[in-house]
């Protein structure tokens, strides 16, 4: 059963919805520069996105109608500090003040993500996360945010999916700024991101003693092929393993330092690349592991694993596996195994900070958007999550990704994850059928979940 104060929510991020990319003194982010050069599907950019910057009141009205208790959104660092550090842009602060006040007036708890990928371009030019000052740059930004907003906002998340803003951006070259760096450099960037997180949590404790702070990484869940002890152990091993070719995309390298105060030393990647860590890394780990209040995980899909010798091996998905419109396997059990493995290892309340599905949504003849498969996707996943909760896993919330259709990074606007359809020509918002399904579920605090399968 879901707790009475379960945080039923939705999530978005600044670059994906705000638009107003150069308005009111905002500085450029790496995504502004990357998209301007036509690097994404259809040469799409976030210049206008969902125009949320000008329409946030309308959007929050819809959120209220949806009945969400929590709204997780990110702040644009260069909207607040156009150069990344130094001068604060008052108009950026004003915008977020209005947004926060509007949420509170509508009874919605704001969950602020400090960083969801729109890195200030001015800092990119100074060497981004490889620069030894980069953790301090982030701290400076975070302190501005806490001073301006923490009188009203009590839930913060430092980073969203470092696996992507380092891995996809600086390892695979698919996301802004589109680079393929050497392992030596990647290890350093990863370390500096985590150091920035630790410094921020330390400052938060002083500046916001009544607030809560977490961290939101991601990663495909390893699910056991069968319920045998051996397969479960194999899946656990796989979930937290770090192989040579998965340095930036794994769970443990990004979470063990923060949650356990150690790097995953017993892994192939650490044996190969641990030597690239700064000499002071053990000292830094004390800062990095400053305790947080809740552990978020973004969970979308999983893979099947079984025992093999004293290790594990992958088992291919069966040929009738369904896939989402973005090509991700639909594996609801990831919302059972993921929280279970994470809670056992990190022992902190879990928030599913993202889970969602891209569907081929379109407006039907009746003017509505009939996305039954999205409601089914959410229902199937929540059903597994509830089983984990009933077995004692402490889950504090679930944030559907996304509140509305938005700019899906390298895919431009071609993938729709929203509960609300956005017509990008007219900016009209149309709540999809799943919006009403989720609304009904929230109203009943999830008690009618099994009913919804009948
Ligand atoms: O749109 C993204 C989001 O920005 C981060 N998590 C995954 C989502 C879907 O790809």
Pocket test for ligand 1, best of 165, 358, 417 (most atoms within 8 A of CB): 417
Q: Which residues of 339-371 are buried (b: 16+ CB within 10 A; e: fewer)?
A: bbbbbebbebbbbbbbbbbbbebeeeeeeebeb
- Return the structure tokens found at 416: 């729709």
Q: What is the pLDDT of residue 451?
A: 76
Q: Torsions phi, psi of 8, nearest 5?
A: -75, 120
Place of tokens 């989402």: 324
Per-residue model confidence (pLDDT) at position 405: 99
Q: Which atom of ligand 1 is nearest to the CA of 300?
A: 7
Spatial distance between the Cα atoms of 427 and 303, rounded to a whole number of angstroms: 37
Write the residue with the smallest CA distance to atom 1 of ligand 1.
408
Query: Which residues, 6+ apart, have CB-to-CB distance to 268 below 8 Å?
Result: 241, 242, 243, 244
d(CA 451, CA 115): 38
CA 450 – ligand 1 centroid, Å: 28
How would you classify the pairing of strands 155-160 and 221-224? unpaired
CA distance 357 to 325: 8
Decide: 165 and 220 in contact? Cβ < 8 Å.
Answer: no
How long a stretch of residues is the chain?
A: 454
What's residue 454's pLDDT? 58
Residues contacting 178, CB < 8 A, separation 6+: 34, 39, 169
Is the whole model's pTM more than 0.85, yes or no? yes
**Is there an atom of ligand 1 within 6 Å of 118 CB?**
no
pLDDT of residue 453: 64
Q: Please name the residue whose Cα sits nearest to atom 2 of ligand 1.
A: 408
Phi-psi region of 409 (alpha: psi -120 to 50; beta: other; left: phi over 0): left
Which ligand 1 atom lies nearest to the CA of residue 409?
1
Question: Which atom of ligand 1 sits closest to the CA of residue 16?
Answer: 4
10-residue mean pLDDT profile of the chain (454 residues): values are 97 99 98 98 98 98 98 99 98 99 98 99 98 98 99 98 98 98 98 99 98 98 98 98 97 98 98 98 98 98 96 97 98 98 98 98 98 98 98 98 98 98 98 98 94 67
Enzyme catalytic residues = 161, 354
Q: Is the CB of 401 inside a 6 Å radius of any atom of ligand 1?
A: yes
Q: How far apart are the first and last CA of the chain?
A: 18
Residue that has been written with the tokens 């450099």 in this structure? 185
354 lines ligand 1 (CB under 6 A): yes
Please give the distance, rounded to the nearest whole angstrom, from the Cα atom of residue 122 to the centre of ligand 1.
24
Which of 201, 77, 181, 202 minimizes the C-alpha distance to 130? 181
Q: Whose CA is nearest to atom 5 of ligand 1?
A: 161
Q: What is the DSSP string of 366-425?
A: TS----HHHHHHHHHHHHHHHHHHHTT--EEEEEEE-SB----GGGTTS-B--SEEE-TT
Query: What spacing in Å lies between the alpha carbon of 167 and ligand 1's midpoint?
Result: 14
Supply the residue whose CA is at minimum distance from atom 10 of ligand 1: 408
371 ligand 1 Cβ < 6 A = no
pLDDT for res 171: 98
In ligand 1, the atom with minimum distance to the C-alpha of 164 is: 5
From the CB of 13, is ligand 1 less than 6 Å away?
A: yes
Closest atom of ligand 1 to 401 CA is 8
Instruction: Give the per-residue pLDDT at 450.
Output: 80
Q: Identify which of 296, 342, 303 has the alpha carbon closest to the alpha carbon of residue 321.
A: 303
Pairing of strands 429-431, 420-422: antiparallel
């Amino acid at each position: 059963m879901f707790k009475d104060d379960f945080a039923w929510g939705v999530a978005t991020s600044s670059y994906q919805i705000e638009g107003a990319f150069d308005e009111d003194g905002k500085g450029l982010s790496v995504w502004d520069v990357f998209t301007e050069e036509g690097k994404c599907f259809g040469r799409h950019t976030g210049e206008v996105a969902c125009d949320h910057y000008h329409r946030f009141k309308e959007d929050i009205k819809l959120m209220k109608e949806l009945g969400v208790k929590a709204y997780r959104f990110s702040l644009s660092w260069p909207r607040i500090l156009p150069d990344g550090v130094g001068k604060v842009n008052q108009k950026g602060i004003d915008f977020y003040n209005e947004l926060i006040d509007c949420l509170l007036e509508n009874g919605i708890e704001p969950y602020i993500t400090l960083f969801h990928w729109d890195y200030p371009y001015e800092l990119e030019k100074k060497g981004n996360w490889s620069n030894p000052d980069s953790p301090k740059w982030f701290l400076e930004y975070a302190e501005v945010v806490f001073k301006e907003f923490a009188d009203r906002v009590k839930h913060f998340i430092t980073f969203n999916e470092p696996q992507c803003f380092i891995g996809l951006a600086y390892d695979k070259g698919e996301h802004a700024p589109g680079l393929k760096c050497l392992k030596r450099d990647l290890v350093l960037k990863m370390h500096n991101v985590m150091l920035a997180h630790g410094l921020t949590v330390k400052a938060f404790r002083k500046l916001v003693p009544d607030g809560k702070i977490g961290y939101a990484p991601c990663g495909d869940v390893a699910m056991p092929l069968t319920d045998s002890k051996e397969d479960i152990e194999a899946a656990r091993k796989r979930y937290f393993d770090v192989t040579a070719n998965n340095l930036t995309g794994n769970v443990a390298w990004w979470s063990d330092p923060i949650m356990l105060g150690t790097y995953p030393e017993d892994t192939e990647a650490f044996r190969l690349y641990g030597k690239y860590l700064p000499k002071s890394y053990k000292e830094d780990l004390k800062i990095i592991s400053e305790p947080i209040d809740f552990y978020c995980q973004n969970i979308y899909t999983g893979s099947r694993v079984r025992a093999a010798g004293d290790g594990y091996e992958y088992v291919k998905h069966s040929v009738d596996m369904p896939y989402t419109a973005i090509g991700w396997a639909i594996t609801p059990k990831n919302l059972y195994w993921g929280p279970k493995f994470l809670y056992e290892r990190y022992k902190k309340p879990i928030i599913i900070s993202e889970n969602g599905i891209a569907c081929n949504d379109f407006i039907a003849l009746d003017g509505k958007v009939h996305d039954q498969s999205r409601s089914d996707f959410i229902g199937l996943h929540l059903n597994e999550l509830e089983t984990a909760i009933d077995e004692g896993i402490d889950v504090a919330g679930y944030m559907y990704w996304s509140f509305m259709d938005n700019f899906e990074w390298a895919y431009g606007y071609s993938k729709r994850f929203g509960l609300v359809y956005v017509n990008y020509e007219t900016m009209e918002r149309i709540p999809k059928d799943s919006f009403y399904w989720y609304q009904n579920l929230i109203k009943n605090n999830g008690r009618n979940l099994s009913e919804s399968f009948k």
